[in-house]
Structure 1
Amino acid sequence: MYPSLLAGLMASAATVSAHEFPVLFPRNNTTIGVSGACAELSSQFPSQVLTSTSANYTSERTSYWDVRSDQSPSCIFLPADASEVATAVKVLARNQAEFAVRGGGHMNFPGSNNIDNGVLVALDNLDQLVVDNTTKTIDVGPGTRWVDVYDALEPYGLYCIGGRLKTIGVPGLTLIGGWHYFNNKYGYAMDNVLSYDVVLANGSQVVATHTSDSELFWALKGGGASNFGIVTNFKIQAFEQGLISTTIQNYGEDQVQGYIQAVCDFVESTTGDVAAGAVFSIQYNATTKAVAPSLLGVEQSLISPPPRFSNFTALNSTLSISQLSTTTAWHNQFDTPDQMFRVQFSHRTMKPDADQIIEYFQMWKNAVDEIADVEGLYPTFVLNAAPASAARVAQTNGVGNLWGLDASENWLIFQFSTGWANAADDIRVTSWSQRLITQMHKINQAKGLASEFVYMGDAGEWQDPYAGMDEGNVARAKIIRDAYDPEGVFRFLNYGGFKLPY
């Protein structure tokens, strides 16, 4: 289907020659391979390899917001720069050692950025932040969080499309797509990356742009963090931004129906003219039975309250705070505390039908009561806007992205975010969430409300994001993967996370 594309890829990736790779089958005993890799890395970088007896080992292996990501690597390697990442990849491939890569630890798919009895490559030290005020760009290392990026940009009067919570990691969010308040005008985080510095599976390094290694450049836009290589630098387009108009609104249960209607009206009326977006969520306490809808809204405006959220400010709120704010002051309010609890996501995508979503909220609330005995239960019903104008950015910027999301419709993602305390409840909570979201999706399919799109960042590990992407795009991404990693280093040794199908 893509013979000319494959030929071009093989020519442009000529440095990725098959003889530089080990033959992965038959494979070494994984324990021997990991032991050999840890020994080699320790020999070359004695102060940068941690084992279970090292002082900082525990803090590194638990540097995650989701407790389910806590695992016990045989060793942790902390490279200082891209060349050391390249050395590590060669060592791992040569020893056929299973490994994981952690940037900011954004993905909460267990095993996506940590590993038991393997090698963890932790990118903490690749934390460069270099602003170019002339081009309005920023070079960002994969060891950074979005709060670091916003702090670096604000003195220049600049801002960019990134995470909505300050502690979200840069690489995970950017490589899977990236929700931000201003997606409707500027597209997703992936649509605002101008280049990627990438360590490939044979340890070589390339800079992928629209004109150089352009197929890899395209594939990294929504293709996930673990299919093509390790990104060691993102060049991100920024834009001028002064104060923003923000609003925080909290409500009681009596406002749920009006709140959901306001969310759907907001999504349906969204265009790319005025940048505006929000975090929409409804908390439910299964013990007290208290229901608490909330809105965190931001608009690219100097009018307060922000006009795009007038339907929300018109509701009877229990808390209402609207003000003009700097970008850093806004983001610095909202954190994702590390190690707070275990977390399970499940979601589906649909047309913004308020009556149907109100019904789903009630179904979800009733279902939460069925697992109310789970210790530390912390359930949230989340809504995320995916407006047509956001998808249209990729269709008109000359690059595109892997999603191929339908830009003829405004979509709404409804999500269960469920926290709990104990590993003993993992299977129960996952099964509960999977059954409930599947039931709702089948109803949507029957009513013609469903999209098959699944956002990688909010998916349960049992969901398949690639099944909902454009079929031709997924086929193209597989060709790119096989051209840049012909021996499958990132498929068979770095096996965590959402992988492209065979």
Structure 2
Amino acid sequence: MATFPQVDFLKEAGLKADRILVPSDADFVARQASYWSCGARSLRPACIVQPRSAREVAAAVRALVSARVPFAVRSGGHTAWASANTIGADGVTIDLGYMDWVRLPSDEEGTGKTVNLGPGNQWGRVYSELALHGLTVAGGREGNVGVAGLILGGGMAFFTGRYGLACDNIVEYEVVLADGRIVSARKDGDHANLFRALKGGSGNFGIVTNFRMRTLPLPPVWAGMTIHPKEAIPDAIRALKDFTDDMWSDPDFKDIVVIGALIQIAGVEQAPAYKKWLEMPTITTTCKMTTIPQLTMDYSQAKDYHNTWFTATFKNDVRIVAKAAELHDQLVKTLKAFIPDGDFVTQCLFQPFPRLFGQHSAAAGGNMLNIERQSHDGLLWLAVAQVRTPEQERFAYTLVQDWVHAVRQFAAIIGGNLEWTYLNYADRSQDPLTNYGLENILFMKDVAAKYDPEQVFQTLCSGGFKVSNVKLPN
């Protein structure tokens, strides 16, 4: 039987044997297979450690740092690309999956103003648990997305039009630092700078082991998909543009894509904001009254594909959406020629990204994302290809990358690019932190230097976007 020194380091630090999985364990194989994207499963660590508490996370970090063992951190395991939350055979994955509590704090005497969320949760479970208490949160929009990754990257939410991003609704982070200390970061506490840096700063400062998040009353929801014939695309693009322009009139929206995902989180059936969508020729519709827990499961993307994601942000201009749709058609034709059975999925997903979002973030005390300085109402674009094999992924990756580049080139010609990249949608080749603005970049670098002077989370902890890699202007 193979032996792993990484396992010995963890055991010597006091981690119990049942917290550690090695490649010969069935549970190791199952956890690897549970990553949402097949590409993430391609990296196999020496072992997986599954802590149950902040103290056990701290013990694991101290052991791995002391022995200079590289490690990755996994929450929900939903990132599209390998190495974001996985690591190869010389390293260890710290898997937070057992830290999945949803607890209403006892010190609030049942008022339910906040909730403690373990980082290993997925949003579908969070919503189902909170619904039992008539509550919800401004969290992720797909049930199988992890809590920690979404919040630390900013977090587009059902309620962003009213309450800002997910990170804007955090009141306290519990964090394990590189030296194994456990600290609580609050806006008005001893670690206020760390608190602010974590609002969109990703995994650059430590491992968050608890999120204390503001709760909201559970609303009724009217939502569903409307499928339109291809001939309706010009009308859909115009409807998207007008809807984004008029976001102020209906902040209870979720988002709209070219095909048509209509979600109204105040429970208003066929709200006036969706009038143009509902008047278009429709092949089928699933719009109905529903619940947030059900909606997040209905909205979840299929797993067991090799995924390519790229993102960009534009001014709210119909010409850019039309160009993206035109080039998407060419992409599909090329993929069909390479994948004869048509076993792939592509998405050309546009979401309103109005200045309203940044105003909510500023009102909540600000974050690292720099969106409060956005000068135009925008559109957030996600370009997706889902295929079945590694060979198909390599082929699709280049096509999607070229597609995004071509649309951005077109947008540049007409002055339509907004230089902002959403971290949670970004490919590993993109550089979202650069768009956070010089002031925020310098702030994050200072916080990282204070809390992680040995740069553990820049060098030893793999994956993600590192603030140390952001080049400052001369």
The verdict on a shared fold, with TM-score over 0.5 as the criterion, is yes
Q: Please name the residue that 1:202 is paired with.
A: 179
1:145 match: 122
Aligned to 1:221: 199
Alignment partner, residue 168 of structure 2: 191
Instruction: Identify the match of residue 354 of structure 2 among 387, 393, 417.
Output: 387
Question: More deviation in 271-280 or 258-267?
Answer: 271-280
Secondary structure in structure 1 of the residue aligned to 2:286 = strand
Query: What is the CA-CA distance between 1:278 and the residue it aligns to?
Result: 1.9
> How many residues of Structure 1 are paired with residues of Structure 2 in the alignment?
454
How far apart are the structure 1 equivalents of 2:88 and 2:33? 12
C-alpha displacement of 1:273: 5.8
Match for residue 357 of structure 1? 321
Per the TM alignment, residue 135 of structure 1 is displaced from its structure 2 partner at its CA by: 4.6
Q: Write the letter of the residue equivalent to 2:309.
A: F
The worse-fitting range, judged by mean Cα deviation, of 115-124 and 329-338 is 329-338
CA separation in 1, counterparts of 2:389 and 2:182? 42
Any residues of structure 2 matched to 1:244-393 within 5 Å, and which? Answer: 244-271=221-248, 274-281=251-258, 293=259, 295-338=260-303, 340-375=304-339, 376-393=343-360
Alignment partner, residue 491 of structure 1: 458
Taking structure 1 as the reference length, the TM-score comes to 0.87
* Structure 1 runs not aligned, ≥5 long: 1-33, 282-292
Q: In the alignment, is residue 404 of structure 1 matched against residue 404 of structure 2?
A: no
Change (3 A) 1:272 1:305: closer
1:35, CA displacement in angstroms? 4.2
Q: CA offsets per residue over residues 25-82 of structure 1, 9 Å max, x none?
A: xxxxxxxxx9433212245311111111112111112221110100211001011111
CA RMSD between the two structures? 1.8
Displacement, 1:319?
1.2
Partner AA of 1:51 in structure 2: V
- Partners of 1:402 and 1:427 in 2: how far apart? 33
Q: Are the counterparts in 1 of residues 227 and 282 from structure 2 also a CA contact under 8 Å? A: yes
8 Å contact kept, 2:247–2:354: yes
Unaligned runs of 5+ in 2: 470-474
Pick aligned residue for 1:136 from 108, 113, 116? 113
1:385/1:355 Cα in 2 relative to 1: closer, same or farther (>3 Å)? Answer: same
Q: Deviations along 1:192-222, whole A, 9 cap, x unmatched?
A: 1111100000000001110121111111111
The alignment partner of 2:66 has SS state of helix
Name the amino acid aligned to 2:73.
V
> Aligned runs of 1:35-54 on 2, under 5 Å?
35-43=4-12, 44=14, 45-54=16-25
Which of 468, 484, 487 is the equivalent residue of 2:435? 468
SS in 2 for 1:370: helix
Contact residue 370 and residue 435 of structure 2 kept, 8 A: no
SS state of the match for residue 17, structure 2?
Answer: coil
Q: Can you list the C-alpha shifts for 1:391-416, whole angstroms capped at 9, x where unaligned?
A: 1112122x211011134321102221
Runs of 4+ in 1 over 4 A off after TM superposition: none
Distance 1:154 1:197, change over 3 A: same
Any conservation in 2 of the 1:389–1:407 contact (CA below 8 Å)? no
Q: Secondary structure at the match of 1:271?
A: helix
Q: Output one character per residue of 1:345-376: Cα deviation in whole Å (capped at 9) or x when no partner.
A: 11211111113311221022113322323333
Q: Which residue identity lines up with residue 257 of structure 2 in the other structure?
A: F
**2:205·2:452 contact (CA, 8 Å) conserved in 1?**
yes
Q: Deviations over 1:169-191 (max 9, x none)?
A: 11111110111222111101111
